[in-house]
Amino acid sequence: MGRRSARAVPPARDDVAPLARLRRICLGLPGTSEKVSHGEPTFWVGGRMFATFDNHHHGATHVGVWLAMPLGAQEALVYQDPKRFFVPPYVGPRGWVGVRLDGRPGWQAVEKVVREAHAFIKNPRPRKATRSPLPHRGRGEGEGAEVRGTTPKTKPPSETATPRGPRR
């Protein structure tokens, strides 16, 4: 069972039930711990964040959770059910998906995507060099920018070397 930090900020009373259920799901996963990051309860495995609670973060109109997801999952989930899933600010361009927890979120579906996020972060797989389907906004990134961690193809040294004259 995971450990819980005593520094967690208590949410507003109307948001206690979603956080309590989310906390029960997350801390029930092997190796999970909880601590506050960016003013919200977050859940970690292996020293890496996989979920963060969204309690009307930066004026959002909903209560939710942001989850780290494998490449392509965000687009599929948001397309399939845009009332439940959304692209969160800040981490959305890196593939994270937001899940609304207020109302009737369908807790079995929430648990399924939380487990997927936990497994994705706990057991990272090497990423293939692919082009990102989402537009990027940042230094040195533009339309068709390659995914972080890939390197551009270069010519072998033999093709780029300049001829030298005879040694003296």
pLDDT of 142 reads 41
Q: Work out the mean pLDDT of the chain and round it to a whole number.
A: 78
DSSP string computed for 115-145: HHHHHHHHS--PPP--B-SS---BTTB-TTP
Looking at the domain assignment, is residue 139 inside a domain? Answer: no
Number of domains in the chain: 1
pLDDT of 124 reads 76
Looking at the domain assignment, is residue 30 inside a domain? Answer: yes
Q: How far apart are CA 95 and CA 151, in angstroms?
A: 20
pLDDT tens per residue, range 46-82: 999 999 999 876 777 889 999 999 999 999 999 999 9
Looking at the domain assignment, is residue 140 inside a domain? Answer: no
Q: How confident is the model at residue 159 (pLDDT cuts 50, 70, 90)?
A: low
* Predicted structure pTM score: 0.66
Domain span including residue 93: 15-122
pLDDT tens per residue, range 89-126: 999 999 999 999 988 899 999 999 999 999 999 997 76
CA 102 to chain centre: 20
